[in-house]
Amino acid sequence: MRIKLNSQYFLSLVAVILGLAAGAVLMAATGKNPLEGYLYLFRGGLMNLERIGNSLATATPLIFTGLSVAFAFRTGLFNIGAAGQMLIGGLCATAVGLTLAWPKPLLLTAIIIASMLGGGLWAALPGWLKARFNVHEVVSTIMMNWIAYWAVFYIIPLHFKGPYLETESRRIPEAASLKIPWLTSLFNGSYINLGIFLALIFVVLSAFILNRTVLGYELKAVGFNRHAAEAAGINVNRNIIFSMSIAGILAGLGGATFYVGYASNMQIGVLPSHGFDGIAVSLLGANSPWGVLAAALFFGLLHTGKGFMNAMISIPPEIADTIIATVIYFAATSVLVERIWSRYRQKRASALALKDKGKAETGTGGAV
Amino acid sequence: MLEIIVKIFPYAIAFTIPLLITSLGGLFSERSGVVNIGLEGLMVIGMFSGALVIARTEGAYPGISIWLGLLAAVVCGALFALLHAFACVSLNADQVISGIAINMVAGALTVYLARNMTGSGNIHIINGLKRLNIPVLSEMPILGKLFFTGTYATTWVVLAILGLSAFILYKTRFGLRLRACGEHPHAADSAGVNVYLVRYIAVAVSGACAGLGGAIVIVTLSGEFNGSAAGMGFLALAALIFGQWKPHGILGATFFFGLASTIANVSQAIPQLAQVPAIFLKTFPYIVTLIALVLSSKSSQAPRAAGQPYDKGKR
C-alpha cells in the first residue's frame, strides 16, 4: 500500500514537472525567456505578505472544489458539477448577504449554511438520479452546471441588480463579507479572508470522515467495488446520494468563499473555472484531502503570480491556465510515465539479478 | 404568429447549424466507443484557427478567405483531437479526464497565442459569410420564406455532411465497423477490425466536425474569436444524448435547442414572446436532456462500450 501511495504522488510530481516544462516550451516558442518568466511567476505569488495573502485567497475556493471532486472520486463518482454547485452556493450566500441585516457573526453563519444547503441540494439531484435511475453523473452534472449558469444569469439581474451594470449583483455589505479587518491588515490589504480557515477545517474534517468513520469506510467501499459493497450489506444507493451531497456541500462552500470572500459581488455569464481546476487539484492530490490542500496552494500561487509576470515581462497570463491544463493532460496520460518507469525498473532489476547471480556463482566457486 | 416565426427562423437555423455539426462530431466519436466531452474545446480550436486564417487572408483573397478559414478549422480540429485519441485509445486514459484536459488546454492555449498576436486576445474578422436566397425555391409559399430565404452556404454544407455521415454510418462497411467498435469492440476485433485505428479515425473526425462548428460560429454568428464557445460544445453534447446517438435524432434535438435559445435571445424584442420566461427557455435543453436520460434509463440507446478503454487481453 505504501508503495502504491508513493508512486501516485510520484506520478503527480512528474505531471507537474512536465506541465511546467510544457509551459517553458510555450514561452520559448513565443519568444520569451522561460527562466525569467517562472522567476516572475513565483515572485508574483510570494514576494510579499500581500501577495502571499492573495495566493492563499485564490487557493481557498480551489481547496473546496478539489475536496469536492476528491470526495466523490473516493466513492467512484466523477463530480464535474463543482462549478455549478459553486455558483448555486455563491448565489445562496449572496442572496442571504444582500437580504438579511443581521450582526456579522450571525449573518456569516447564515451565509455559510445557505451556501452548504444550496450546493448540497444541487448535487444531491444528480446523486439521486444516479442511485435511482442509473443516470451517469458525468452527464447529469454537466447539465446541472449549465442550468446553474442560466439560473444565475437571470436571477441576479432580476432580484439583486447592481446600480451601474446589468451584468453584476450589488456589492454585499461589509457585515456579509468573509473578509475581516485584522486579517486584511495583517496581510497588507490582500484578498485573504476567513475562507482559508474554513478550508483548513474542512480538509481535516474530510480526512477524518474518509479515514476514521463508518460513513467514510462505506463510501470508499462503494468506490472500490460497488457489488462487493452491496454484498457486504452496505446500502450503495444511499451512499451514492450521500457522497454527491457532501461533494456539493464542499463546492457550495467554495462558492461562498469566492463570491462573498474573495469577491464582493456576483458576475453573471461566467461559469467559474474552479470547477474544472478542482478536477486538476484532486487528480494531482491523489484524491486525498492533504494532497488536495497542497495542489490547491500550488495552483493558487500560479494564478496569483500570473498577473505580476504579465506586468513585468508581458507574457500573457493564460500561461498559468495552460500549465494547469497540461498538468491534467499529463496526469490523465500518466500511464505512459508508468510504463516507461516500470520498464526501466524491470531492466534495472534484471541487470541487478544478473549481477547477483554472477556474484553468487563466483561465491560458490570460491568455496569449492 | 407566422410573422414572428418567419422573423426568428433564420436566426434559429443559424444557431442550430454549428450545434448540429459539433453534435455530429460527438456522434462519430461516441459510436466508436470514445466519450468526447472535449467538444467545447475542439470548437474553440476551430474558432481560433478559423478566425486567424480569415483575419490574415481576407485582405489578399477576399473571395475564398472564409472557406480557407473553415478548412483550417477542420484540419486543426482533427489534429487537436488526436491528442484525445492518443490518451484514450493508445494509453487507456480516463476518457472524461482527457476530455476535460482538451477543453482546458484549448481554452488557455488559444487565448495565450491570440494575446501574443493581438494583445487583447480577441481576433476580429471584417467580413462574415453573406446570407443568400436560393433562386427558385425561395419563391415557394411559406416554406420558401422559412428554409430558402437568407440562408448561409454553410447550412447546406453541414446538412450535406449530415446526410453523408448517415450514409457512411449505416450503409457502408466502415460505418458498420465503427458502430461495432462502440458496441462490442472484442467482437469487432475477432472479426478482423482494427479497433484502435477505427477509434483514432472516429475521434479525428469528431475533432474536424467540432472545429468546423466553431469556425461556423465565427463566420455566421459572432465575427470574433474571444477564447470561449460559451457552452455550445456542451449544448451539442446534450443534443447528442437527447437525440439518442442517431443522426436524425440530433438533427431534431439541435433544431429544438436552437429554436429555444433563439426565442430566449429575442424575447426582449418581441412582446408576444416575452410571456415565456427566458430562464425557462435557456435551461430547457438541459432539463429535457436530464428527463430523457431518466426515461431512457431502462432502454438506453447509448453505445454500450462508450467510455471504456479497449483492452485486447480482457474478456
pLDDT digits (tens, 9 = 90+) for A92-133: 999 999 999 999 999 999 999 999 999 999 999 999 999 999
pLDDT digits (tens, 9 = 90+) for A154-174: 999 988 988 888 788 999 998
* Calpha distance A33→A24 (Å, rounded): 8
Helix A318-332, helix A2-29: angle, nearest 10: 140
Q: Which of B109, B276, B280 should one mutate to test binding to chain A, selecting the residue with the greatest count of A CBs within 10 A?
A: B109
Mean pLDDT, range B30-39, rounded to an integer: 94
pLDDT digits (tens, 9 = 90+) for B233-259: 999 999 999 899 999 999 999 998 998
Whether the Cβ atoms of residue B129 and residue B152 lie closer than 8 Å to each other: yes
- The identity of residue B135, as a single letter, is P
Is A114 inside any structural domain? yes
* Calpha distance B182→B300 (Å, rounded): 14
Mean pLDDT, rounded, of chain A: 89
Is A161 inside any structural domain? yes
Structure-model confidence comparison of residues B109 and A339, the more confident one: B109
Whether the Cβ atoms of residue A153 and residue B282 lie closer than 8 Å to each other: yes
Is B309 inside any structural domain? no
Is B308 inside any structural domain? no
Structure-model confidence comparison of residues B139 and B70, the more confident one: B70
Mean pLDDT, rounded, of chain B: 89
Is A115 inside any structural domain? yes
Whether the Cβ atoms of residue B52 and residue B269 lie closer than 8 Å to each other: no
Closest alpha carbon within chain A to B232:
A146
ipTM exceeding cut-off 0.90 for this assembly: no
With beta carbons under 8 A apart, name residues in chain B contacting A279: 97, 100
* Calpha distance B87→A328 (Å, rounded): 12
Is A278 inside any structural domain? yes
pTM for this model (two decimals): 0.90
Total domains present in chain A: 1
Please spell the DSSP secondary structure of B12-42, one letter per residue. HHHHHHHHHHHHHHHHHHHHTT---TTHHHH
* Calpha distance A88→A119 (Å, rounded): 6
Is the CB of B231 inside 8 Å of chain A's CB atoms? Answer: yes
Q: What one-character DSSP code corresponds to residue B141?
A: S
Q: Which grid coordinates belong to B208?
A: 474536424
Using the predicted structure, report yes or no on whether residue A360 has a pLDDT greater than 80: no
Closest alpha carbon within chain B to A151:
B279
Is A32 inside any structural domain? no
What are the residues facing A169 on neighbouring strands? A161
Sign of CA dihedral B170, B247, B232, A85: negative
Q: Which grid coordinates belong to B77?
A: 480540429
Closest CA to B209 of B87, B53, B30: B30
Is A106 inside any structural domain? yes
| Contact between chains at B283 and A151 (C-beta distance less than 8 A) | yes
Is the CB of B159 inside 8 Å of chain A's CB atoms? Answer: no
Whether the Cβ atoms of residue A223 and residue A73 lie closer than 8 Å to each other: yes
CATH number at residue B189: 1.10.3470
pLDDT digits (tens, 9 = 90+) for A231-270: 999 999 999 999 999 999 999 999 999 999 999 899 998 9
Mark out the alpha helices in chain A (DSSP H runs). Answer: 2-29, 34-46, 49-74, 82-99, 104-133, 137-159, 181-186, 195-212, 214-224, 226-231, 236-257, 274-284, 289-313, 318-332, 334-367
Q: Lowest-pLDDT range, A50-54, B58-62, B210-214?
A: B58-62
Mean pLDDT, range A57-80, rounded to an integer: 95
Q: Which grid coordinates belong to B67?
A: 472557406
Number of helices followed by number of strands (H, E) in chain B: 12, 2
Q: Find the domain containing B142 and state its range.
A: 2-295
**Dihedral, CA of residue A65, residue B30, residue B259 and residue B66, to nearest 10:** 100
* Calpha distance B297→B150 (Å, rounded): 41
> Residue A367 — very low, low, confident or very high, per pLDDT cuts 50/70/90?
very low
> Residue A5 — very low, low, confident or very high, per pLDDT cuts 50/70/90?
very low
Is the CB of A30 inside 8 Å of chain B's CB atoms? Answer: yes
Would you state the pLDDT for residue B315? 55
With beta carbons under 8 A apart, name residues in chain A contacting B98: 329, 332-333
Is B9 inside any structural domain? yes
> Residue A362 — very low, low, confident or very high, per pLDDT cuts 50/70/90?
low
Is the CB of B294 inside 8 Å of chain A's CB atoms? Answer: yes
With beta carbons under 8 A apart, name residues in chain B contacting A328: 97, 100-101, 104
Q: Which of A139, A159, A299, A337 should one mutate to test binding to chain B, selecting the residue with the greatest count of B CBs within 10 A?
A: A139
* Calpha distance B144→B138 (Å, rounded): 4
Q: Find the domain containing A231 and state its range.
A: 59-300
Q: How far is A277 from chain B (nearest CA, A)?
A: 9
Is A178 inside any structural domain? yes
Report how far apart, in Å, the C-alpha atoms of A113 and of each of A95, A243, A253, B209 are. Answer: 12, 18, 9, 45
Tell me which H or E stretch contains A276. helix A274-284
With beta carbons under 8 A apart, name residues in chain A contacting B91: 333, 335-336
Q: Which of B30, B90, B105, B289 should one mutate to test binding to chain A, selecting the residue with the greatest count of A CBs within 10 A?
A: B105
Total domains present in chain B: 1
* Calpha distance B292→B282 (Å, rounded): 17
Q: How far is B94 from chain A (nearest CA, A)?
A: 6
Is the CB of A279 inside 8 Å of chain B's CB atoms? Answer: yes
Angle (CA) B64 B67 B73, round 5°: 140
Would you state the pLDDT for residue A63? 97
Beta carbons within 8 Å of A160's beta carbon, 6+ residues apart:
A94, A95, A98, A169, A170, A266
Angle (CA) A123 A124 A125, round 5°: 90
Is A50 inside any structural domain? no
Which member of B97, B293, B297 has the closest CB to residue A332? B97
Is the CB of A109 inside 8 Å of chain B's CB atoms? Answer: no
